[in-house]
Amino acid sequence: MLTSLTRRLQRKLNLPHDVLFKTAPVLDPQSESVEQDHPEQQYLNLIRHILKMGTTRTDRTGTGTISVFGSQSRYSLRDGTMPLLTTKRVFWKGIVEELLWFLRGSTNAKELSEKGVKIWDANGSREFLDSLGFTAREEGDLGPVYGFQWRHFGAEYTNMHADYTNQGVDQIAQIISTLKSNPNDRRIILSAWNVSDLPKMALPPCHCLAQFYVAKGEVSCQLYQRSADMGLGVPFNIASYALLTHIIARLTGLKGGDFVHTTGDTHVYLNHVTPLQKQLERLPRPFPKIEIDFPEETPFWELKAEHFKLIGYDPHDAIKMDMAV
């Protein structure tokens, strides 16, 4: 029996039941293109679970979502593996440039935009900032978001142009130092969730806390993400924290272990259901590898995109999905 929420969802999307709850394609056991236990199936199966068991909810953007609460997946980073989704092409340049932007401590959306990465443009727009009451803030100034918290936690935020050198806690430097000196420490935490700064942010952090763990010469990372947009955000977040873990492994003389992704409100936006159904029909391909090459003395805040080379990425075509703002 269909629930009333499901019936309303079908009417809203104008989708028949067999399309909304389409099952996974039958895999040929002899197929060389994909293994049935491919780690990307965790992502695809979670989407299927949300569409089948989730609750329709209103949200901040007014778009509407289908949501479940709580999920966990695990991706191996061993041998340079990069868990970049293959059932659609993911914007690798955007992932790299955004992460390096975080590591520099920047909160200026225009810096990314000038590199062709527009993912923060909407949240830094004049219209959006004004809607939050930041009428005196310069366009592009996102407030004390990820980069500021990673590099200057606890400092007083003024604007995106200020020099915050030696202000607050540099969590990234602290993590690298602790991994070298006391790798068994259970407090190797990266937090972007600073309650006192939330009212100043253009967007509170969705991926808000990560913990690093060392065993047998491997460093692993577990991310807690309070709000997980399965269509657009999660593919980015998986790859971004996997890349961060690879970078930290390189800087500490360790090897990559696992990336564990734990999510809270785990949702599919209503306008993403149809494109995600298209993605669910595709079979995953082997994950690519990452090669990292930079001089040993390079500070992490001076890393550049050319220091990272993606090897063997052969995804399916891109699938367009609109961002909810």
Q: Give the span between the Cα atoms of 236 and 230, in whole angstroms.
A: 10
Q: For 47-68, what is the mean pLDDT?
A: 95
Cα atoms in the Cβ-side hemisphere of radius 13 Å centred on 41: 12
Q: How confident is the model at residue 14 (pLDDT cuts 50, 70, 90)?
A: low
Check residue 61 and give its pLDDT.
Answer: 87
Q: For 74-91, what is the mean pLDDT?
A: 99
Q: For 212-223, what is the mean pLDDT?
A: 99
Structure tokens at 293: 């090459």
pLDDT tens track for 164-207: 999 999 999 999 999 999 999 999 999 999 999 999 999 999 99
Q: Is pLDDT at 1 greater than 50 in this prediction?
A: no
Instruction: Compare 128 and 14 and report the one with higher pLDDT.
Output: 128
pTM here is: 0.90
Among residues 266, 300, 311, 324, the alpha carbon closest in space to that of 84 is found at 311
Q: Which of 25-34, 58-67, 109-118, 252-261 has the lowest mean pLDDT?
A: 25-34
Please calculate the CA angle 48-49-53 and round it to the nearest 5 degrees. 125
Check residue 35 and give its pLDDT.
Answer: 52
Q: Is pLDDT at 316 greater than 90 in this prediction?
A: yes
pLDDT tens track for 252-261: 999 999 999 9
Check residue 34 and give its pLDDT.
Answer: 47
Mean pLDDT of the chain: 92
Would you say 315 and 290 are in contact if contact means Cβ atoms under 8 Å apart?
A: no
Check residue 68 and give its pLDDT.
Answer: 98
3-state DSSP call for residue 284?
coil
Q: Is pLDDT at 15 greater than 80 in this prediction?
A: no
| DSSP 3-state percent helix, strand, coil across the chain (nearest 5) | 35, 20, 45
Number of helices (H), then strands (E), in the chain: 10, 8
Q: How confident is the model at residue 274 (pLDDT cuts 50, 70, 90)?
A: very high
Q: Which of 13-17, 217-221, 237-241, 256-260 has the lowest mean pLDDT?
A: 13-17
**Cα 287 to Cα 123, 203, 263, distances in angstroms:** 31, 31, 22
Check residue 8 and give its pLDDT.
Answer: 54
| Cβ-based neighbours of 195, under 8 Å, separated by 6 or more | none
Tokens 């690519």 sit on residue: 288
Instruction: Compare 24 and 290 and report the one with higher pLDDT.
Output: 290
Q: Does the annotation mark 206 as catalytic? A: yes
Ordered DSSP codes for 65-100:
EEEEEEEEEEEE-GGGB----SSS---HHHHHHHHH
Q: For 47-58, what is the mean pLDDT?
A: 97
| Cβ-based neighbours of 202, under 8 Å, separated by 6 or more | 123, 124, 128, 129, 132, 134, 141, 142, 143, 145
**Position 166, amino acid:** N
**Cα 303 to Cα 109, 294, 319, distances in angstroms:** 18, 8, 30
Q: How confident is the model at residue 97 (pLDDT cuts 50, 70, 90)?
A: very high
Task: Identify the active-site residue in 142, 192, 206, 254.
Answer: 206
3-state DSSP call for residue 188?
coil
Q: Give the span between the Cα atoms of 111 and 161, in whole angstroms.
A: 11
Q: Give the span between the Cα atoms of 319 and 230, in whole angstroms.
A: 13
Residue-range domains of the chain with CATH: 4-25+33-106+169-311 (3.30.572.10)
Considering only the C-alpha atoms of the chain, give the largest distance between any 2 of them, rounded to a whole number of Å: 63
Check residue 120 and give its pLDDT.
Answer: 97
Q: Is pLDDT at 300 greater than 70 in this prediction?
A: yes
3-state DSSP call for residue 8?
helix
Check residue 55 and give its pLDDT.
Answer: 97
3-state DSSP call for residue 24?
coil
Q: Percent of the chain, pLDDT > 70? A: 89
Tokens 């979670």 sit on residue: 46
Structure tokens at 63: 């778009």
pLDDT tens track for 113-150: 999 999 999 999 999 999 999 999 999 999 999 999 99
